[in-house]
Chains A and B, each alone.
Chain A
Amino acid sequence: MSASLEKGINALKKEVDSTVGAFFSSCVNCGMCADACLFYTESPSPSRTPINKTEPLRRIWNQEYTLTGRIGKMLGLAKPVDHEFLEKWETLVYDSCSLCGRCSMVCPVGIDIALMIRKTREGMAAAGHAPEGLIGAVTRSVTIGSPMGVKLPALMAQISHVEKDTGLKIPMDKEGAEYMLLLSSMEIMNFPEFIEAIAKIFDKVGVSWTISSEAYEATNSGIQIGVADIAAELVQRIVDAAEKLKVKTVISPECGHAYMAIRWDGPNLVGKAFSFEVKHILEILDEFRKDGRLKISGKETQKLTYHDPCQISRRGGVIDQPRNLINLFTENFVEMPEAGKMNWCCGAGGGVSSNERADELRLKVFQRKKDQLDEIHPDGIISACSNCRIHLEDGLEEYNMDIPLLSLTETLAEHLED
């Protein structure tokens, strides 16, 4: 990734389309997005107002694509887009935004602010103003195949543990399987129980599935940092593997942005509609439930709640499925205030967790989640994103709260009828 200001400006220009034009034309600087953003409410600095984070893109749009902006530029009135300016914006665009999209839901004129911040990142990265932590994750994704540097032998070691524990075979590279499972590095390293849960559930339901040894990584740091070429390359690896194995459906695991990356951005990044379907694991499990293929026994009696991962619920549209599934195995399920599409982000999505520089801030803004949890005092929190899960655990520890985190898929697997 050789970066330059020129590349940055060109990348921003490439991001301008009619949505950007309509959005910027409509902003009246009302500031309501600030009230919707946990990075502002928990650490109030006016510069963290979501719409302000899009300023690099706004300047380019205004100066290059509007009549008044072009006249202003000719008269020498245009505000500069230079390294000094972009550098100032780097922490706003990367450290102070998890792309959670809550701002996009409250904007009275309807601006999809999170989308515009995502677009702004394309210019920031191309100009060389992306955080070290994310650059490292991207480099590892391209060279090793995983943002955390997880190599195939590490996955195979975890798989052999799972096989020993369950007595079930994890089908690798099985051609013609119905489902191809993707995993996040976080799951491979920290939560191999997820693989175990999938093996048990899919065995009980009786479907054929596989993991590709060539494309098992679901996450896409190219999207988080905002480099479309790299994001496309990472998606292409999955497309190639899915086509090679002739699978019907690719499963996005318990990871928020991976779902956004492969389900919604993927085909647009590679410039081709997929020949297979992409579904989130929660969608697959809910289909099993609907078809009566999930036999569940026993109910959790403790008070449980569900943390909606932003990219799965608000940005991804998978909101009812987790609740349908949770109802199968809980009898005391309680929603947090503002749950569902308006849920508050844990604070670590959108690449924030890969960016060590943002560690302090992400724990500070966790206060928002704490407040939400304090309203209902649950005995456990279920989620469906291992990034949320790790950060929630971090945050709870930081705030001395002792609430266990549960994976939806894993908890469901524990309740399978024998």
Chain B
Amino acid sequence: MSEIEFLNWVRGPAFEIATVIFIAGVIIRILEIFLLGRKTNLAKPKGSEMSGGLHTIASRSLPDKYSLKRSSFKIISGYIFHLGLLVTIFFFAPHILLFKEIFGFGWPSLPTPIVDAFAVVTIITLIAVLIHRLRDSVLKFLSSAEDYLIWFLTILPIITGYMAFHRIGMTAPALLAIHILSVELLLIVFPFTKLMHAFTLIIARWYNGAISGYRGVQS
């Protein structure tokens, strides 16, 4: 298979397979949660589940000042690499073209040098996050192979993307193929690992806030 043929396969059938697994997997995992069901609360409510739930979905994106002090590295590094992922995935012009092709609509992109800077910062932050995970006694204790796997699968597309953009080491079609392949790997693994938190945290935060809201506590 030539480089071009390989690229075409990666872009075509492989991408379709990965996307189907990703979408089906996410649906299965979310159904898996809701099908467990939840008993109706028989205690007389003192507040609203809905307003507590919605409030917590938003409020948990911001730490309180004491937590920020106590968990400063985790919170700051978390903000940086999540923001970096958001910018590099969704605001890089070629990516937006792809989304436009799939969804039929696009959105304004950020200037390439800015996205490039975000990519570098994200890579550095993710490396720092890994070092922190290996050195912090709690994180080292909690971490399983899965945590390291998803770290690797998350950083890989950014590194391969950076290399593809700057044409480092290989021909352009080979670099692009590797980049797309790394994204496909991420898509396939996503639903079956903790990466699912990107979706389920909304449900989790809603439940947490709803439980509090019902009792009249704002969480």
Q: Which A residues are within 8 Å of any B CB, using their own CB? A: 16-23, 25-32, 34-36, 40, 44, 46-47, 49, 51-52, 65-68, 104-112, 115, 263-268, 271-274, 277-278, 313-317, 319, 337-338, 341-342
Within 8 A of A (CB), among B24-46: 28-29, 32-39, 41-44, 46
The answer to whether B206 touches A110, judged by C-beta atoms less than 8 angstroms apart, is: yes
Task: Give the residue name and chain of the A residue nearest to B41 (CB).
Answer: A268
* Given A46-B138, A66-B32: A30 and B39 interface contact (C-beta under 8 Å): no
Q: Which B residues are within 8 Å of any A CB, using their own CB? A: 28-29, 32-39, 41-44, 46-47, 56-57, 60-61, 63-64, 66-67, 70-71, 74-75, 78, 136-144, 147, 192, 194, 196-197, 200-201, 203-209, 211-212, 215-219
The answer to whether A274 touches B44, judged by C-beta atoms less than 8 angstroms apart, is: yes
* Given A31-B139, A273-B44: A314 and B217 interface contact (C-beta under 8 Å): yes
Chain A residues near B144: list those with CB within 8 A: 29
| CA–CA, A268 and B215, complex, Å | 14
| CA–CA, A248 and B216, complex, Å | 21
Say which residue of A29, A51, A342 sits within 8 Å of B194 (CB atoms): A29
Cross-chain pairs A/B with CB under 8 angstroms, 9 sampled: A25-B197, A28-B194, A49-B141, A67-B28, A110-B206, A110-B208, A265-B43, A313-B217, A317-B46
The answer to whether B42 touches A267, judged by C-beta atoms less than 8 angstroms apart, is: yes
| CA–CA, A19 and B206, complex, Å | 9
| CA–CA, A91 and B120, complex, Å | 45
Interface core residue of A108, A110, A111 (most chain B CB under 10 Å): A110
| CA–CA, A68 and B190, complex, Å | 12
The answer to whether A18 touches B38, judged by C-beta atoms less than 8 angstroms apart, is: yes
Say which residue of B28, B147, B192, B218 sits within 8 Å of A29 (CB atoms): B147
The answer to whether B56 touches A110, judged by C-beta atoms less than 8 angstroms apart, is: yes
Chain A residues near B205: list those with CB within 8 A: 109-110
* Given A108-B78, A110-B56, A110-B207: A35 and B70 interface contact (C-beta under 8 Å): yes
**A127 CB, min distance to chain B CBs, angstroms:** 22
Chain A residues near B217: list those with CB within 8 A: 313-317, 319, 341
Chain A residues near B211: list those with CB within 8 A: 19, 112, 115
The answer to whether B64 touches A25, judged by C-beta atoms less than 8 angstroms apart, is: no
The answer to whether B33 touches A46, judged by C-beta atoms less than 8 angstroms apart, is: no
Say which residue of B44, B78, B143, B204 sits within 8 Å of A25 (CB atoms): B204
Chain A residues near B36: list those with CB within 8 A: 16-18, 20-21, 65
Say which residue of A65, A266, A337, A338 sits within 8 Å of B32 (CB atoms): A65
Say which residue of A26, A30, A268 sits within 8 Å of B74 (CB atoms): A30
